[in-house]
Chain A
């Protein structure tokens, strides 16, 4: 009997455990509000919890699917610098972390760029994947961002970016730090080309990402309850040695302090951004001119003929 309790039982147990913890196979997931949610329900609700309204993280592909018209978009191939410029190794080799992240996300780095239409307007869109080493900004992500900016400039597209990152990638130290400057260079070119640059800060947007290209959007939009910060909550708490209010660094809090323009629920993002774009690009004015073209032309003809 002994061997049965010692060997067989744990094996059977582990067999069940594996099955129940493998989240991909289950139809259910949990939310912050501790409620069980049927996965399809969650996805059909734009990954917003139907009970508490909490906005779950989206991968870039999921984001593109709900953002572009008719789920139609094309992901751009972005340049990929050499891996691991510093030959970094902590408890694990950085190259191994990269490999694992690539297998997990099917992306070559944290930023994905796509282009397509939003309410008929051509747009270039970038998004960060938090599952890729915390969405962190390293050489490859910086290069992808710059590529996205260049694509927007080449096609005279507005550039929309969904930020979701813990900050600069520690495993690339100074090289990652340089991406702050390099991405800002890109933003400068966008502004020079007079193209709208809208940033949607999703949970979380922090550190070097907020302090570089994400913080420089012409319009800054936060998703509800998203953490938007520079220094992390714990770091601040350790420095000032006092309890921070619960809503500290949430999108609503940052908006209240003048840091961002809007807090917009996911279901209204498409309409809000397309309205903003149509205003910035003067779409209505252009339409009005094209419809009244004939009338004004006749008017001017009659006026000039009178003058003659």
Chain B
């Protein structure tokens, strides 16, 4: 069954029309389909999809990212990797089914695959806890990432979660520390890790695994510190302001690419990943292979440093209001010369404006004389 979002009404009508004209049996007399008409409707649908999906606002993107038919981690893992072997448990408390973990092969290369899975129907969603991980899930990932590190196997993770699970047991078993340890583990790996945000990148649940060499987002996925609804109800005290909140948080792939928080955006097929999930998984596979290739000849130390430098740079490349030079080699930064110059000018803005006015006046005076 197809599900339509509220801004897809016209597309829904057209697709229903298309379906009925493809069916030769509900017409009287002639049992033949009108191919010309079908083509025309198809063209119209494509045109509508193109227009709608190229101008989605942040809240509509959020709805696409959470779309019921949107392909999930489990689907991509089946499509992209061969010999996938599911592994379970954190060896401490339990098995968290909201995260699929195991080793697999992509084009003859061994990888560790981690995938946050929301589930496809009601039953599997309950089983997967709607993609909300618990401490044992993070600890399972840490265990397997360390194993991958020992065997020098790269890590590929699929991010799709509303956030970490806010439950009593999760708090008692140290949700916060599990996430902190997971980030710590990601940042100390000597093998490349690649994260692909395929749907919702929700807060701590996402960053716990998305602390990686390459962070990739699908075109219509989102990534933020809190859900738009949560943000709206806290800052606006009105959950209906979700659009405003989504807009303000700059949670779309394109905006985050511009901010330097994401490294790459993969375009989605016409009308979103759910309209052609095979095509989507092909694109993701290509991107994973390309990215693994860039790390092929790097040493463990170089891979570690690339990741570290990348995260230290975030924000710093936008320049400083008040820099400090007393930083050492471990965590220091070099202020780019452009931002040095702009800061120099900004600090002496009045002086420069004054000088320019004086110059203009002088020119005018000399001309008049």
B174: A residues at CB distance < 8 A: 257-259
A interface footprint on B259-302 (CB within 8 Å = 1, 0 otherwise): 10100000000000000000000000000000000000000000
Q: How far is the CA of A231 from the CA of B205 in the complex (A)?
A: 11
CB within 8 Å for A170 and B175 given contacts A82-B318, A188-B187: no
Shortest distance in angstroms between A62's beta carbon and chain B's nearest beta carbon? Answer: 24
A170-187 vs B, CB cutoff 8 Å, 1 = contact: the mask equals 111111111011101111
A130 → chain B closest CB, angstroms:
16
Residue pair A178, B322 in contact (C-beta under 8 Å)? no
Q: In the docked arrangement, what's the CA distance between A182 and B172, Å?
A: 26
Q: How many residues of A contact B (CB 8 A)?
A: 68
Q: Is the CB of B180 within 8 A of A215?
A: yes
Question: Is B330 an interface residue when CB atoms closer than 8 A count as contact?
Answer: yes
- Expressed in whole angstroms, the Cα–Cα distance for A167 and B308 within the complex equals 23
Is residue A229 contacting chain B, with contact meaning CB distance below 8 A?
A: yes
Q: In the complex, are the beta carbons of B225 and A208 less than 8 A apart?
A: yes
Interface flag for B158 (CB, 8 Å): no
Please, which residues of chain A bring their CB within 8 A of the CB of B312?
Answer: 146, 182, 185
Instruction: Known contacts A86-B250, A208-B203, A211-B175; decide if A184 and B259 are in contact (CB<8 Å).
Output: no
Stretch at the interface among A88-96, A261-269, A287-295: A88-96
Complex interface: chain A residues within 8 A of B308 (CB): 185
Q: How far is the CA of A259 from the CA of B211 in the complex (A)?
A: 24
- A residues 152-209 with Cβ under 8 Å of B? 153-154, 168-178, 180-182, 184-189, 193, 207-208
Contact B311 A181 (CB under 8 A): yes
User: Across the interface, do A180 and B167 meet the contact criterion of CB distance under 8 Å?
Assistant: no
Q: Of B224, B248, B311, B321, which contacts A90 at CB under 8 A?
A: B248
Complex Cα–Cα for A189 and B206 (A):
23
Q: Which residues of B contact A236 (CB under 8 A)?
A: 166-168, 171
Does B327 make an interface contact (CB < 8 A)? yes
- CB-CB < 8 A to A39: which residues of B? none
Q: Which residues of B contact A43 (CB under 8 A)?
A: none
Are A173 and B225 in contact (CB-based, < 8 A)?
Answer: yes
Of residues 19 through 57 on chain A, the ones whose CB sits less than 8 Å from some CB of chain B are none
Distance in angstroms from A295 CB to nearest chain B CB is 40
Report how many residues on chain B are interfacial, defined by Cβ distance under 8 Å.
63
The residues of A that contact B167 with a CB separation of less than 8 Å are 236, 239-240
- Is A174 within 8 A of B177, CB to CB? no
Q: Within residues 306 to 355 of chain B, which ones have a CB less than 8 A from any CB in chain A? A: 308, 311-312, 314-316, 318-324, 326-328, 330-332
On chain A, the residues within 8 Å of B183 by CB distance are 180-181, 184, 211-212
With contacts A79-B323, A208-B203, A248-B168 taken as known, whether A188 is within 8 angstroms of B188 at the C-beta atoms is yes
Taking the closest CB of chain A, its distance from the CB of B342, in whole angstroms, is 10
Contacts of A239 in B (CB 8 A): 165-167
Q: How far is the CA of A232 from the CA of B175 in the complex (A)?
A: 12
Minimum C-beta distance from B200 to chain A (A): 13
CB distance from A217 to the nearest CB of B (A): 10
B234 CB–A CB distance under 8 Å: yes
Q: Determine if A168 and B172 form an interchain contact, defined as CB atoms under 8 angstroms apart.
A: no
Partner pick for A189 among B311, B321, B330, CB 8 A cutoff: B330
Q: Which residues of chain A have C-beta atoms less than 8 A from B319's C-beta?
A: 81-82
Partner of A174, one of B184, B251, B324: B251
Bound CA–CA A232/B171 (angstroms): 10
Chain B residues near A85 (CB-CB < 8 A): 259, 315, 318
Closest CB-CB distance, A237 to chain B, in whole Å?
Answer: 9
Whether B256 is near chain A, meaning CB under 8 Å from some CB there, is yes
Within the complex, what minimum Cβ distance (angstroms) separates A195 from chain B? 11
| Structural contact, B211 and A181, CB atoms closer than 8 A | yes
Residues of A within 8 A of B179 (CB): 211-212, 215, 230
- By beta carbon, the residue of chain B nearest A89 is B248
In the assembly, what is the distance between CA of A207 and CA of B250, in Å?
A: 20
Q: Counting chain A CB atoms within 10 Å of each CB, which of B168, B211, B224 scores highest?
A: B168
Decide if B95 is an interface residue (CB 8 Å cutoff).
Answer: no
Distance to closest chain A CB from B224 (angstroms): 5
Task: From known contacts A174-B224, A178-B261, A236-B166, infer whether A212 and B315 are also in contact, taking CB-CB under 8 Å.
Answer: no
Q: Within 8 Å of chain B (Cβ to Cβ): is A299?
A: no
Interface flags, B223-246, vs A, CB<8A=1, else 0: 111100001001110000000110
Does A184 contact B316, Cβ atoms closer than 8 Å?
no
Asked if B176 is at the interface of the complex by the 8 Å CB criterion, the answer is: yes
- Does A308 lie at the interface of the complex (its beta carbon under 8 Å from any beta carbon of B)? no
- Let me know if A280 is at the binding interface, CB within 8 A: no
Q: Is B173 an interface residue (CB 8 A)?
A: yes
Q: B245, B256, B327, B330 — which one has the most chain A CB atoms within 10 A of its CB?
A: B330
List residues of B (34-55) whose CB comes within 8 Å of A's CBs. none
What are 6 pairs between A and B in contact, CB < 8 Å? Answer: A181-B207, A181-B211, A189-B331, A208-B203, A230-B176, A257-B172
Which 8 A-B residue pairs are closest in the complex by CB-CB distance? A231-B166, A210-B176, A215-B180, A230-B176, A80-B322, A211-B179, A173-B249, A90-B235
User: Other CB < 8 Å A-B pairs besides A80-B323, A258-B174, 19 of them?
Assistant: A91-B235, A146-B331, A150-B327, A174-B261, A175-B314, A178-B261, A181-B183, A184-B183, A188-B187, A211-B204, A212-B180, A215-B181, A230-B175, A230-B179, A231-B170, A236-B171, A239-B167, A249-B171, A257-B172
